[in-house]
Amino acid sequence: MTQNQTPNYDAVVIGGGVTGIYQVYLLNQAGMRVVGIETAPDVGGTWYWNRYPGCRLDTESYAYGYFALKGILPDWEWSERFASQPEMLRYMNAAADKMDVRRLYKFNTNVVSARYDANNNIWNLRLDDGEDISCRYLVSATGPLSATKMPDYKGIDSFRGVAFHSSRWPTDADGKPVNVDFTGERVGVIGTGATGVQIIPIAAETAKDLFVFQRTPNWCTPLGNSPLTKEDMDLIRKRYPTILEYVKTTPTAFPYHRDTRKASEVSDEERTHFFEELYDQPGYGIWLSGFRDLLLSKESNKFLADFIARKIRQRVRNQEVAEKLIPTDHPFGAKRVPMETNYYETYNKDNVHLVDIKTDPILEFVPEGIKTGDKTYELDVVIFATGFDGVTGSLDRIDIRGKNDRKLVDAWAEGPSTYLGLQARGFPNFFTLVGPHNGSAFCNVGVCGALQAEWVTRMLTYMGDRGLTYSEPGQAAEDRWTEAVYADFARTLMADTNAWWIRVTHKPDGSVVRRTLVYVGGGPDYRRRCEEVAYNDYEGFELA
């Protein structure tokens, strides 16, 4: 490896969301020449793009954010236990101001391609404004849920009304999101994941008619949002260090630990009492602090699934509708559990209609609306709450090529292969934050993404201090990590359920390969492993 050419930057960070801006800040603080590239006109990432009504955090606001920058936002007041998207975007803007990172960003810009030049040990990037830039280290912080998934139904273009993806809300001529007024409109929502479940109750308040096109129901549980007072905030601020230390001990960095008991170890009465308590508590508790074998044992899972099914039947008056809202295809929590506010009661409204597109699939769009086998639904607005190409989707949309011009999409065709989820063999000096197989994508990103950015900064500083400029995982280390990730996942009930964190590949020979995109070994183990690696001079990485 020669190094004749000096790159324009020490590091390029792709993405100006929660993790990206912090990474840019840290690398800049470490004295590196760094630039961030962001598609949107401003910072915010997920909080910039997802502007649909009802969009909010379902992590406790105070357990999400830039803990490590003690006092970065000393005056910040969260107004609700689970902050709404506008508040989140204000927080992101305030954080970007305090970190002073905007000057280090190129906004309104996409990275089209990134190619590793082995002769010069640099990455050459082409941007969609035609500019070419180069860097030594390429860091992606593209977010696990940013590449939108739009179904290509026949005739979509012929639809006379407006139709858009939930995370691409319509904008005015200046690019500002417009308030889509549903009053008196016939609205269709396709998709009943975490996004659809947030939109549906709000749209139902004003729409003349709301048609929910459901392919698969999800297990949804109450969010339990409430306002936070100034006194609450004063206490939270005093407890910030404790909150951070606590969430770092939990598997997903949300403020919940699993109960130490198995579901079968307690009586029916005790179990129901426990579930009732969890159901009434705000947030993810029912998913993340239930019995320890919830996602390991079908029998344990069924206890909770049956309990939630009973709740759905109690909350939805029309029992035919209630049955359609009860999942039968996957165990509770094997997919992301949407947190809801009056979701089930929404189906008691006369203007809300559940359309089961599993039994009566959408055939096509027509000028007046959506046609299924049975009928045509006349609509003015259609919202695609159809989700994202999870975790690797945004990387797949960039032409990333490593050594020997090998494409990342080819290297990962049947699922990612990484070391610590941070680097892939054949792609030197390329780091994937909140990427596949690391302890961040399946985690409270506000905390885990930041911890990972700090780890990468330490590694690059270590390398800089020793005159090292090259990092690539060794084959053995990568194989061990990847096999362990797949084995951990295979032990859980999530293994047989399709969700945005699973890649399903249909091979030409007719076989199907299902691979997890996420690491489920738990944050503490992940970070312990990362610290061991760092302590042992970045063992497993080939540094030069």
Which residues make up the interface to ligand NA7 (CB under 6 A)? 145, 151, 190-196, 215-216, 336, 357, 385-388, 500
Closest CA to 193 of 379, 393, 49, 339: 339
Sign of the alpha-carbon torsion through 215, 218, 223, 224: positive
C-beta closer to ligand NA7: residue 391 or 460: 391
Return the amino acid letter for 426: G
Which tokens sit at 127? 């941007």
C-beta closer to ligand NA7: residue 189 or 456: 189
CB of 162 to ligand NA7, least distance (A): 18
Question: Which H/E stretch holds residue 409?
Answer: helix 408-411
- Sheet containing strand 369-372, strands side by side: 362-366, 369-372, 376-378
CB of 331 to ligand NA7, least distance (A): 14
Inter-CA distances, 163 with 156, 186, 385, Å: 8, 12, 11
CB of 214 to ligand NA7, least distance (A): 7
Phi/psi of residue 364, each to 5°? -170, 165
- DSSP structure class, residue 108: S
C-beta closer to ligand NA7: residue 169 or 500: 500
CB of 339 to ligand NA7, least distance (A): 9
Residue 138 near residue 115, CB atoms below 8 Å:
no
Beta bridge partners of 13: 36, 139
Residue 469 near residue 459, CB atoms below 8 Å:
no
C-beta closer to ligand NA7: residue 500 or 519: 500
C-beta closer to ligand NA7: residue 356 or 479: 356
C-beta closer to ligand NA7: residue 195 or 429: 195
- Strand 186-190 versus strand 209-214 pairing type: parallel
Q: Where do runs of H (alpha helix) occur along 67-123? A: 85-99
End-to-end CA distance of the chain: 10
- Strand 352-356 versus strand 132-140 pairing type: unpaired
Residue 311 near residue 304, CB atoms below 8 Å:
no
Closest CA to 388 of 145, 218, 50: 145
3-state SS class at 9: strand
Beta bridge partners of 163: 382
C-beta closer to ligand NA7: residue 114 or 190: 190
CB of 391 to ligand NA7, least distance (A): 11
CB of 386 to ligand NA7, least distance (A): 4
CB of 146 to ligand NA7, least distance (A): 10
Inter-CA distances, 355 with 58, 83, 191, 366, Å: 27, 31, 11, 17
Give the CB-nearest residue to ligand NA7. Answer: 193
- DSSP structure class, residue 61: G
C-beta closer to ligand NA7: residue 126 or 215: 215
C-beta closer to ligand NA7: residue 81 or 335: 335
The owner of tokens 């053995």 is: 476
CB of 198 to ligand NA7, least distance (A): 8
CB neighbourhood size of 159 (10 A): 20
CB of 193 to ligand NA7, least distance (A): 2
Closest CA to 45 of 67, 24, 74: 24
C-beta closer to ligand NA7: residue 215 or 292: 215
CB of 276 to ligand NA7, least distance (A): 26
C-beta closer to ligand NA7: residue 114 or 385: 385
